Amino acid sequence: MNNSTQIASHLLRSRIGKLCVVIIGASPNEMIEKATEVLKESNFLEFRLDYLAKPLAALPGTQSPLSPDMSSAINTGGSAPNPVVGGAQLATQAAATITSLEKMIGPFPFSALALTQRPGTDSQGWPGMIFLSSYVYLTPAEREAQHVSAADNVLFGEVMMPHEVAHQWFGDRVSWASYHEQWLLEAIANYSALMLVEPRHPVYEQVMLEAYRQLLAAKSKDGLAFVEAGPVTLGIRLSSSKFPAGYEIITYGRGTWLLHMLREMFRDASRTAENPEGSDQVFLGWLRSLYDRYQGKEITNADFERSLEEVLPKPLWFEDRRSLDWFFDGWVNGTAFPRFEIKDARFSTKSGKPLVSATLRQLDAPDDLVTSVPVYGVVGDNKIYLGRVFAEGQETRISLPLPAGVKRLVLDPNQTVLTAP
């Protein structure tokens, strides 16, 4: 999922007819069986079969995928997973994931999918085949015994497999045009996985988003926050001697947040009196049509922006223009990681209707940053959605109509905008 081998392989895949890959199994027979099965589907692959009785034990220590630059090495010397038991369970889960993703995106693009274990923390997807981290095959308790952090436990237990399966659509069937779009396919695959997790375990989505936020804020050895490594569109160039894990942290961390911001903006824009929570209909319709349009093709960041603008809800038209340039300039092609503050709120009544005006401050942000920020009013224990406002630069004066009883405002209580911790 997130190492340099994968990136190299992604790049190689579109250019080389035959590839040599490694396949792992519990026994030599199992491996030959798997290899034969996969060869039926992907005849451009060549196999090198390496048999390891205890794949985890073969590794001296593996770093945590959610903290790749940190020294919290996971102990891999303990018990190796039993791939027969875990494999059967995983096959059932993968089948259910395919069904859900078909509903969300469209028909599964290949005739079969093979999952095979890969020792260590990384996973990697190919058309019709996935190398899945051996940690995915463990139970949560087994992972805890291996000193896997809470966020990594969610990653291995709930996100990694659906992430790799989603790549069958976005990554394997829709390709990136250049390294500038690596982030886009990773973010779509990762966010699709989170959207599948959300209805069952809403808290897990929050755990992942919070882990990504903390990683973006984490400091490199030189004391620089990783968010400074650059915008998502720099792709593999984000990793450097200054930011050794720059690619992973920005692509997966910031990339996932950008998709989350878009989805939440679209949902807020669909709120009506009849449907006060809003819906994901427009966002999911967009995702499906993006796949329809670009399957079998390469996608650019410009295509991505244009496709969103075609369905852009009116509340997201900054300065009355059907454009997402404001979002792409500051958030996609920029490194914004601001904080927000509301002050000087004045409650009044105009023609008998209560309203509030206040100053919205955007801190630690570029002067030209534009952000859509949801504002809520507090009544007792409830937070009522009042609307979204554009924060422009450091200070913006805002004004919103109010339901009765609101005496206090809060910004984005549901964490839908990427902010510094």
Residues that bind Zn ion (CB under 5 A): 1, 186
Sole residue written with tokens 């190689």: 12
Measured from the CB atom, is 146 or 168 closer to Zn ion? 168
CB of 335 to Zn ion, least distance (A): 22
Sole residue written with tokens 């375990």: 201
CB of 171 to Zn ion, least distance (A): 6
Sole residue written with tokens 């996935």: 130
Residue pair 362/394 in contact (Cβ under 8 Å)? The answer is yes
Measured from the CB atom, is 172 or 186 closer to Zn ion? 186
* Burial class for 355, CB neighbours closer than 10 Å (0-12, 13-18, 19+): middle
Q: Please tell me the distance from the alpha carbon of residue 364 to that of residue 337, in angstroms, as a whole number.
A: 7
CB of 309 to Zn ion, least distance (A): 26
Measured from the CB atom, is 133 or 371 closer to Zn ion? 133
CA distance readout (Å), 157 to 64, 141, 150, 285, 410? 14, 11, 10, 28, 34
Measured from the CB atom, is 1 or 155 closer to Zn ion? 1
Handedness of CA 33, 38, 44, 49 (dihedral sign): negative
Measured from the CB atom, is 248 or 264 closer to Zn ion? 248
Measured from the CB atom, is 160 or 360 closer to Zn ion? 160
Among 318, 287, 285, 284, CA closest to 304: 287
Across the chain, which distance is largest between two alpha carbons, in Å? 80
CB of 230 to Zn ion, least distance (A): 19
CB of 373 to Zn ion, least distance (A): 30
Residue type for position 98:
I
Measured from the CB atom, is 1 or 411 closer to Zn ion? 1
Residue 404 structure tokens: 């009765």
CA atoms within 13 A on the CB side of 385: 19
Q: Please tell me the distance from the alpha carbon of residue 327 to that of residue 275, in angstroms, as a whole number.
A: 26
CB of 6 to Zn ion, least distance (A): 7
Sole residue written with tokens 């260590």: 120
Concatenated DSSP letters for 293-305?
A: HHTTSEE-HHHHH
Measured from the CB atom, is 114 or 409 closer to Zn ion? 114
Among 210, 214, 255, CA closest to 234: 255
CB of 163 to Zn ion, least distance (A): 6
Sole residue written with tokens 């992604």: 10
CB of 31 to Zn ion, least distance (A): 24
Measured from the CB atom, is 251 or 371 closer to Zn ion? 251
CB of 178 to Zn ion, least distance (A): 17
